[in-house]
Amino acid sequence: MVYLHGRMPTQPADVTRRLGFILSNADFGRAYLADGWATRFVRDLLQHYVIVLLGYSATDPPMRYLLEGLHARGDKAPAVIYAFDSGSDEEVELRWRDRGVRALSYENADGSHAGLWNSLRAWANRADDPDAWRRTIVALAQERPGELQPHERGQVASLVKTDRGAKLFAEATPPPPAEWLCVFDRYVRYGNPVRTPGAIGEVLPLPDFSLDDDPPRSEGQPWQDGEISDDLLLSTVRPGALARLGSFGHHQTAQLPNRLISLEHWIVRVINTPVVAWWAAGHGSLHETLLSLIEWKLNRPDEDIDDQARKVWSLILESFRNSPSEDRWFDFARVLIRDGWTSSILRDFERIATPYLHCSRPIQAKPQIPPKGNWQDLRRSEVVWFEVKFPPEHAENFEVSSEALPSIVRILCRGLQHAAGLLDEIDTPYWRTATFHPEQRPRRQPPVK
């Protein structure tokens, strides 16, 4: 804590006289111009610390010129500076906009600066007894996030950003509600683009899941996975490598850090809640250790899991475990051209040509809104949408030799039988059949039993 500018008490003690406060014009000239010690001191602070400015106006000459100069340099790693200021968000943001400072506004209608003092008091309570603060936030996390204020959700997010906090969160009894997944996952929290008069072209976080420091994002702007501060399901596992509990591409097997290990144990504890299945269905897969924990949970005979939940999770696991990569078709084609229809090529063809189960979130007007209620109150299609995927259309362009044709037909017949079983399991009343006649269009028929 640095008290750089100020005023002397009426009868200052000798120690106060020696503190070097900048009180007069002459002090200011020596500190910032002639000797420059204050400039060097503040610049060094900005290079090594996160700075919070208290009691400064955006128009204070020394800070104004110093901050504007630093901001204008455009450093790749700019200083992290916050400033408390009274007024509305828009007013305070406008005052500090050109200073490179994150402004923290508070209301001060009565002139008491109560908002500022309450914030500092909350910081002091956290610093004086971190364990007590963590216990308070864990109790807060046991409420549904939609029942809390954004800053309270922000406190829970701050808790789970640390290894110790995530462990306390995951081990709480009763466990925090599954809806916290929608807060921790930025791809859910931000939802769909929302157009309002004050935010044209921006993506705003969903009200029930937003954090107090969520910035608006430009519509269409790609996610930057390196920005881990607002995606609590993502962590750095080693320099240059990231891991996420829910992935959108290939299966992840990298060893997870302790923080994410705690969160995946919490997810397994609340697996009986439809929200967790809905969240999982929005990803291409889950991390390998999380999938293994879910399988372990489902296989325990003493676990009290709803029958509908058990069936849905079995299908989700089937989908994640057996979905082939689309890229394998191109690899297969290259090997086929090189080697022809060998026995190994036929086995590889069967692996990638067999129909498989695919899961996704239900198609609805607001796809990022999780289901409310328990399994008895919801239809399966309101939680997860399942469909059977067939080989890509370009597969029909492969040249099949007359010698390989009988094997190919047997493989395709087994695939159709497999597809019929999957369609029956997900209660599909009809599906688009293929046709052996190019001039005929596919028709809808009941699944083959």
User: 78 is written with which tokens?
Assistant: 């700019």
The CB-side HSE value for 98 (13 A sphere, CA atoms) comes to 8
pLDDT (0 to 100) of residue 409: 92
Nearest CA to 175 among 253, 45, 272?
272
Q: What is the pLDDT of residue 257?
A: 93
pLDDT at residue 328 in the model: 76
Task: Give percent above pLDDT 70 in the chain.
Answer: 80
Q: In sequence order, what are the beta bridge partners of 286? A: 246
Burial (0-12, 13-18, 19+ Cβ within 10 Å), 39? middle
pLDDT of residue 187 exceeding 60: yes
Domain ranges of the chain: 14-125, 129-303, 319-445
Residue 253: the pLDDT is 83
In sequence order, what are the residues at sequence separation of 6 or more whose Cβ sits closer than 8 angstroms to the Cβ of residue 259?
160, 161, 162, 163, 166, 235
Which of 163, 172, 161 shows the shortest CA–CA distance to 136?
A: 172
Q: How far apart are CA 117 and CA 119, in angstroms?
A: 5
Which among 128-142, 219-233, 363-377 has the top mean pLDDT?
128-142
Parallel, antiparallel, or unpaired: how do β-strands 81-86 and 51-53 relate? parallel
* Predicted local distance difference test score (pLDDT) of residue 21: 63
C-alpha distances (whole Å) from 438 to each of 217, 396, 441 are 47, 11, 8
| Average pLDDT of span 251-273 | 93
Can you tell me whether residue 234 is helix, strand or coil? strand
Q: For residues 313 and 118, what is the distance between their CA atoms, to the nearest angstrom?
A: 46
Instruction: Over range 2-25, report the average pLDDT.
Output: 61
- pLDDT tens-digit readout, 143-186: 999 999 999 999 999 999 999 999 999 999 999 999 999 999 98
Place 243 in a pLDDT band, splitting at 50, 70 and 90: confident
Radius of gyration of the chain (CA): 30
- Dihedrals phi, psi of 432, to nearest 5 degrees: -80, 120
pLDDT of residue 384 exceeding 70, the answer is: yes
Residues 95/58, Cβ–Cβ less than 8 Å: yes
pLDDT exceeds cutoff 60 at 378:
yes
Global pTM reads: 0.78
- 50, with CB counted inside 10 A (0-12, 13-18, 19+), is exposed
Please answer whether residues 204 and 216 qualify as being in contact, where contact means their C-beta atoms are separated by less than 8 angstroms.
Answer: yes
Asked if 354 contacts 414 with a C-beta cutoff of 8 angstroms, the reply is yes
- Between the alpha carbon of residue 182 and those of residues 58, 179, 278, 283, 366, the distances in Å are 37, 5, 10, 13, 14
Which of 360, 285, 275, 293 is closest to 322 using CA atoms? 285
Mean per-residue pLDDT of the chain: 82
Q: What is the pLDDT of residue 141?
A: 97
The dihedral built from the CA positions of residue 208, 214, 220 and 222, taken in this order, carries a sign that is negative
CA 339 to chain centre: 44
Q: State how far Cα 218 lies from the chain centre.
A: 17
Short-list 9, 10, 8, 11, CA closest to 20: 8
Percent with pLDDT over 90 in the chain: 41
**CA gap 431, 318 in Å, rounded:** 20
Q: Which residues contact 171 (CB under 8 A, 6 or more apart)?
A: 262
Say how many C-beta atoms besides its own lie within 10 A of residue 55's C-beta. Answer: 14
CB-based contact 93:102 (threshold 8 Å): no
Q: Return the pLDDT at 228.
A: 46
The most confident of the ranges 5-14, 100-109, 196-205, 317-326 is: 100-109
Q: What is the model's pLDDT at position 27?
A: 75
**What's the distance, Cα to Cα, between the start and end of the chain in Å?**
75
Report pLDDT for 23: 63
State mean pLDDT over 31-48. Answer: 79
Helix, strand, or coil here: 82?
strand
14-125: CATH architecture: 3-Layer(aba) Sandwich (3.40)
Mean pLDDT of 410-422: 91
pLDDT interval class at 41 (50, 70, 90): confident
> Angle, to 10 degrees, between the axis of helix 130-141 and the axis of helix 150-160?
120
Mean per-residue pLDDT, 38-44: 78
Tell me what the mean pLDDT of segment 253-274 comes to. Answer: 94
> What is the rounded distance in angstroms from the CA atom of residue 190 to the CA atom of residue 183?
9
User: Tokens at residue 139, please?
Assistant: 């109790």
Instruction: Output the six-digit token pair for 195.
Output: 């157009």
